[in-house]
Chains A and B, each alone.
Chain A
Amino acid sequence: MGQVVEFREALRQAIDEEMERDSNVFVLGEDVARYNGAYKVTKGMLDKWGPGRILDTPISESAFAGLGIGAAMTGLRPIVEFMSFNFSFVAADQIISNAAKMHYMSGGRFKVPIVFRGPNGTAAQVSCQHSHCVETIYSVLPGLIIVAPSNPYDAKGLLKTAIRCDDPVIFLESELSYGDTMEIPDEEYLIPIGKANVVMEGHDVTVVSHGRSIKACQEAVQELTKRGVSVELIDLRSIKPLDITMIAQSVRKTNVCVCVEEGHFFAGISAEVAFQVMEHCFDDLDAAVERVCQRETPMPYSKVLEAETLPNPSRITAAVTKALKAAGKGGRLCHLH
């Protein structure tokens, strides 16, 4: 038995089930209660759980993120919603200096079981200050866990695990994905943190991506399949810890690797994955790792420029084609560019 749900509903179910399971779980953030959430993830939850557990906050990211950290240190399990992860920068000191470092810094005395969740990256033309991909920023901080589901099934299973997790989790969603639908089980399920997922098996090239970019990869894979290329598509699910074991296994099979992400080239997730691939599979690689990332600018407003800088299927297809040719596998392509 299954149910077809939107991404936002999958998230809501995860929160709802965990609130039922553990009375220490509560939600706070801007407009999460009476307004039902800026993207309706917490729709109906105020009515069900009341204002003691679904809390509208003032526009004070630093205070409510820090309040969540203090509450987590003293026995609760807060879920902090950022209306956009770009607003988390206002609370950066709390996340970086307190949440990430507390367990280590306190000699293991205090743990910080908290989830920071909300939309990350670009939406539709929201311009420079509302479109940044934060995963590379938070991934460089030991102590944080970074999770980025690409579909409703993963969103629910990963969020439930994140809420039960004893460490601070940065849980990255996408505004453009909240309406995506998918069939998910009626029964409870969890998805482990730190394990990637093979979305599609193949033997010519390994494509590694996460979050909303998986959709662009899937479109590219359709096109590449038509051209006779067998793509193995890996969805990271967890960016940190990174499942390099699964990636390396795949690259040892395909000998070609392409990394795709919505964030920037410089010091990005792709840079990290590519480096670790080199460390683990140098002798197995038949070509340099290619990457498709956001160009090195703030996100422009114009939809023409926005589309140009995001990893789209044609850029991904081109990168895969380039890597295959460099690897001497160009003959696999029915129609070379």
Chain B
Amino acid sequence: MPSKKSPPSLSQSFAVDHDKVIKQLGKDTLMEVLRKMLLIRNFEMRGEAAYQQGKVGGFFHSYMGQEAIATGAVQALGPDHWWAASYRCHGLALLLGASPNELMAELYGRANGNALGRGGSMHLFTDRLLGGFGIVASQVPVATGAAFALKYQGCQDRLAVCFMGDGATAQGTFHESLNLASLWKLPCLYVIENNHWGIGTAIERAVCVPRLAEDRASAYGIKGYTIDGMDFFACYAGFQKLYQEVLEHGAPVLVEVVTERFRGHSISDPGLYRAKDQLNKLMKRDPLILIKEQLMKAGIIDDDSYKALDKEQRQIIMDAMKFAEESPWPDAVVLEEGVYAGQYP
């Protein structure tokens, strides 16, 4: 099976000075970063279990293995931008302030879920998150529009951040949006989370160039970068620089963040196209292992405090599952409410 053994050329990747970032963020912030990554990991693990118990229906796209990316981005930029994501959106929703309770209730299809039980796993929202979008690359023009609105409104310090998978870069809207964003100089950061697979099709079999951002950005007259997506510190430092670059140049930037998904495309995908030992090897670079090692080296955590933090997050998620389980089902009388924002005769 073709698959990338290591990240593609990191020629424009940011050489990250871990010590510098550790010093910059400080102990409390780093503990909070670790807590959030563990929260996402526990949410995904428990959500998966709930799915297997039949509590969650539809699709379930796990973010396991990719936690460092969204965590690094939200940490570097702050939440106060416009964000858009693919259907693999649980992590970003948590990071942007959606509570584990409302998200789990949404997965359970309950009345008090994040989207009132109408959206499910793929369609999560916050006041700043324009959605998990269910159609590959469908969010790319929408995020571009959010960037347009920021420019139209004269907003100088905010941008739109558009997450997409590697598969999205083969869609027409990817090309159309980058052309338009560059042409109109829109403050949009396009983030390709390259987990190497579009369901079961390896990216090499879907896209004709190896570096998804660096090889393609020049076609749009913009800058393209590559970041190691398994390393929180690389993500944080990279997004911090790109944030400034978008604001300073008033133009979009394209970045590929090389990562791995530790699960199948969705829960119904056993991932048979990927050899077990290959996955095991990749999981040695688990973003949680990498950040743990760094924080231990810096003397910020030890095994016990890591385990305690993990246990605490697991409890939060267990409580969220209990909350979801006990939450009311939507009343059938509300079925037709909210199709329209307005009232018509």
**A and B associate in one complex:** yes
Q: How far is the CA of A52 from the CA of B176 in the complex (A)?
A: 20
A15 at the interface (CB under 8 A from B): no
Say yes or no: A58 contacts B142, CB within 8 Å.
no
B144–A70 contact, CB under 8 A? yes
In the bound complex, CA of A74 to CA of B151 (Å): 11
B138 pairs with A103, CB closer than 8 A: no
Please classify how large the interface on chain B is, using the bins under 10, 10 to 19, 20 to 34, 35 or more. Answer: 35 or more
A103 to B149, CA, bound (A): 19
B82, B114, B142, B152: which contacts A76 (Cβ < 8 A)? B152
Instruction: Return the chain B residue nearest A195 by Cβ.
Output: B345
Given the interface pairs A60-B180, A103-B340, A106-B123, the reply to whether A70 lies near B115 with Cβ below 8 Å is no
A97 to B133, CA, bound (A): 9
Which of B124-132, B206-214, B300-308 lies at the binding interface?
B124-132
Shortest Cβ distance from B40 into chain A, in angstroms?
A: 21
A65 contacts chain B at the CB level, 8 A cutoff: yes
Contact call B141/A67, Cβ cutoff below 8 A: yes
Q: Chain B's nearest CB lies how many Å from the CB of A54?
A: 13
Contact A62 B172 (CB under 8 A): yes
Are the C-beta atoms of B141 and A69 separated by less than 8 Å? yes
Q: Would you call A142 and B339 a contact (CB within 8 A)? A: yes
Which residue of the partner chain B has the closest CB to A75? B149
B327 adjacent to chain A (CB < 8 Å)? no
B149 A102 Cβ-Cβ under 8 A: no
Question: In the complex, which residues of chain B have a beta carbon less than 8 angstroms from the beta carbon of A192?
Answer: 345
A44-82 interface code vs B (CB 8 A; 1 in, 0 out): 000000001000011010111111111111111000000
Instruction: List CB contacts (< 8 Å) of A220-279 with chain B.
Output: 241, 243
Q: Is A143 an interface residue (CB 8 A)?
A: yes
Most central of B142, B152, B180 by chain A CB within 10 Å: B142
Contact of A110 among B113, B130, B134, B344 (CB under 8 A): B130
A194 touches B344 (CB 8 A): yes
Check if B153 sits within 8 Å of A94, measured CB to CB. no
B62 at the interface (CB under 8 A from A): no
- In the assembled complex, the Cα of A58 lies from the Cα of B342 at a distance in Å of 32
User: Provided the pairs A26-B152, A62-B176, A98-B138 are in contact, do residues A72 and B116 lie with their beta carbons within 8 angstroms?
Assistant: no
- Given A60-B180, A63-B177, A109-B127, A72–B342 Cβ distance below 8 Å? no
- Nearest Cβ on chain B to A46's Cβ, whole angstroms: 16
Q: Are A66 and B177 in contact (CB under 8 A)?
A: yes
Q: Which residues of A contact B246 (CB under 8 A)?
A: none
- Say yes or no: is A198 at the interface (Cβ < 8 Å to chain B): no
Q: Is B1 on the interface with A (CB-CB < 8 A)?
A: no
Which A residues are in CB contact (< 8 Å) with B37? none
A70 touches B180 (CB 8 A): no
B141 A70 Cβ-Cβ under 8 A: yes
Given known A-B contacts A66-B138, A106-B123, A72 and B180 have beta carbons under 8 A apart: no
Number of interface residues of A (CB under 8 A): 48
Residue B92, interface by CB 8 Å: no
Q: Is the CB of B153 within 8 A of A66?
A: no
In the complex, what residues of A have CB within 8 A of residue B172's CB?
62
Instruction: Decide: B177 and A104 in contact? CB cutoff 8 A.
Output: no
The CA-CA distance from A65 to B141 in the complex, in Å, is 8
Decide yes or no whether A105 CB sits under 8 A from chain B: yes
Q: Which residues from A are CB-within-8-Å of B344?
A: 145, 193-194, 241
Inter-chain contact A74/B125, CB cutoff 8 Å: no
Q: When the two chains form the complex, which single residue of B82, B116, B144, B342 contacts A66, counting CB atoms closer than 8 Å? A: B144
Chain A's closest residue to B119 (CB) is A105
**A147 nearest CB across to chain B (Å):** 11
> Which residue, A71, A142, A165, has most C-beta atoms of chain B within 10 A?
A71
CA distance A252 to B248 in the complex (A): 67
Bound: A76/B172 CA distance, A:
25
Contact of A166 among B141, B176, B342, B345 (CB under 8 A): B342
Separation of A69 and B131 alpha carbons in the complex (Å): 12
Judge whether A70 and B125 touch: CB under 8 Å: no
- Residues of B within 8 Å of A103, CB to CB, are 338-341
Interface string of B154-196 (1 = CB under 8 A from A): 0000001000000000001100110110010000000000000
Q: How far is the CA of A224 from the CA of B345 in the complex (A)?
A: 32
For the complex, give the distance between the alpha carbons of A103 and B116 in Å.
Answer: 11
- Complex contact A108–B116 (CB within 8 A): yes
Could you list 20 A-B pairs, sorted by A, with CB under 8 Å?
A26-B152, A58-B179, A62-B173, A66-B138, A66-B145, A66-B173, A67-B141, A67-B144, A70-B82, A70-B143, A70-B148, A103-B341, A105-B115, A106-B119, A110-B131, A142-B339, A166-B341, A194-B344, A195-B345, A243-B345
Given contacts A70-B130, A105-B119, A107-B125, list 19 more A-B pairs with CB under 8 A: A58-B180, A62-B141, A67-B144, A69-B142, A70-B142, A71-B152, A74-B149, A93-B135, A97-B135, A98-B133, A102-B131, A103-B338, A107-B116, A107-B119, A143-B340, A145-B344, A165-B342, A167-B341, A192-B345
